[in-house]
Amino acid sequence: MEVFLQLTVSGLSNGMVYALAAVGFVVIYKASEVINFAQGELLLFGAYLSFASIAQIGLPWGVGVALTLVLAVAIGLAIERLVLRPLIGEPVISMIMVTIGLSGVLRATVNAIWGPRPRTFPQFLPSGGVEIAGVVLGADRLIVIPTAAVIFVLLGLFFRYTRDGIAMRAVADDQQAALSMGISIPRIFAVAWALAAVSAAVGGMMLGNIVGLSPNISAIGLRVFPVVILGGLDSIAGAVIGGAVIGLLEAYTGGYIGNGLNLVVPFIVLILVLMVRPYGLFGKPIIERV
């Protein structure tokens, strides 16, 4: 029981980080049908930016987090303007490869600035153990779960009540109709990238708190794929639930079976979902079929 609870908390907290990365991925995909292979690197960048502003410059952690988020918005906007916008309307392979190229540039930048060795992350979430029902659980991991939930609720409110949020839903629904209603598509793409960068940065900071900081954490970018395919490529709720499911699945296979199986199980799930139900749990069942 103790192991089960610990695995559940660790799986859920990892899953929430996956979900934060996946939500950004889904927002970009919904708005512009671009598959973003650089999501893991956005997360990496967020983590290192907060490391720089809190540990290296010495800002208080609240200010450091705010600064990180502002910088993340700037990076998202810059990427969209410089890299993605010239390629609007290009074939799928160009979109995939350009984000792969982008991921290389971002990772190289992080490595060049902060070096490849792991760093001590300035933990601002309370560390230490909390005893619940006789089981000791990590406080930082316990906090990650509701924090991520709050962010998802905020995102939901954004899509429901703000002008940009509603415009994004309109674009996702029917780009032509949205265009004829006077919605600026490039603006929507820019907002999508800014949102993706912010949610990835939040994920990166959480990851820094719970597992530490090294350039390897960009590997999360690949975990995003099982998550979004399971949840449905165009569903934000799906990304959250997919994140939780994949996180738990990894934790349980890692904890009970081991042998590195936790690394490959998400991708086996991915293949199965693609075979049986390619639009995932919550995606729209329109998918390009042969």
Partner 1 sequence: MHSGVFHTSYEADMGLRPMPAQRVRLALFVAAVLIFPFFASNYGLNLANQVAIATVGAIGLNILTGYTGQISLGQGAFMAVGAYSAGLLTLRLGLPWGVSIGLACVITAAVGVFFGLPSLRLKGLYLAIATLAAQVIVEWIITHWTALTGGTEALVIPAPELMGERLNTDFRFYWVGVTAAAGTALFAANLFRSRVGRAFVAIRDQDIAASAMGVNVFHYKLLAFATSSFFVGLSGALLAYYRTIVTWERFTLETSILYLAMIIVGGLGTIVGSFLGAVFLTLLPVLIGSAGQALQDAAPGVAGLVPHIQQAAFGLVIIVFLIFEPRGLAKIWRNVKDYFHVWPFAYRR
Binding site for partner 1 (CB under 8 A): 35, 83, 86-87, 90, 92-94, 96-98, 100-109, 111-112, 222, 225-226, 229, 259-260, 263-264, 267-268, 270-271, 274-275, 278, 287-290
Judged by beta carbon, residue 90 or residue 173, the one nearer partner 1 is 90
Least Cβ distance, residue 79 to partner 1 (angstroms): 10
Least Cβ distance, residue 107 to partner 1 (angstroms): 7
Give a three-class secondary structure readout of 54-89.
HHHCCCCHHHHHHHHHHHHHHHHHHHHHHHHHHHCC
Least Cβ distance, residue 250 to partner 1 (angstroms): 13
Angle ∠(225,115,54) on CA atoms, nearest 5 = 85
Which residues lie below 8 Å from residue 216, measured CB to CB, with a gap of 6+?
A: none
Judged by beta carbon, residue 131 or residue 288, the one nearer partner 1 is 288
Cα–Cα distance, 50 to 206 (Å, whole number): 10
Cα–Cα distance, 61 to 55 (Å, whole number): 9
Rounded to whole angstroms, what are the CA distances from 215 to 4, 98, 159? 30, 21, 32
Angle ∠(250,251,254) on CA atoms, nearest 5 = 80
Cα–Cα distance, 118 to 114 (Å, whole number): 9
Least Cβ distance, residue 226 to partner 1 (angstroms): 8
Judged by beta carbon, residue 69 or residue 95, the one nearer partner 1 is 95
Least Cβ distance, residue 255 to partner 1 (angstroms): 18
Cα–Cα distance, 256 to 190 (Å, whole number): 43
Judged by beta carbon, residue 157 or residue 219, the one nearer partner 1 is 219
Judged by beta carbon, residue 19 or residue 233, the one nearer partner 1 is 233
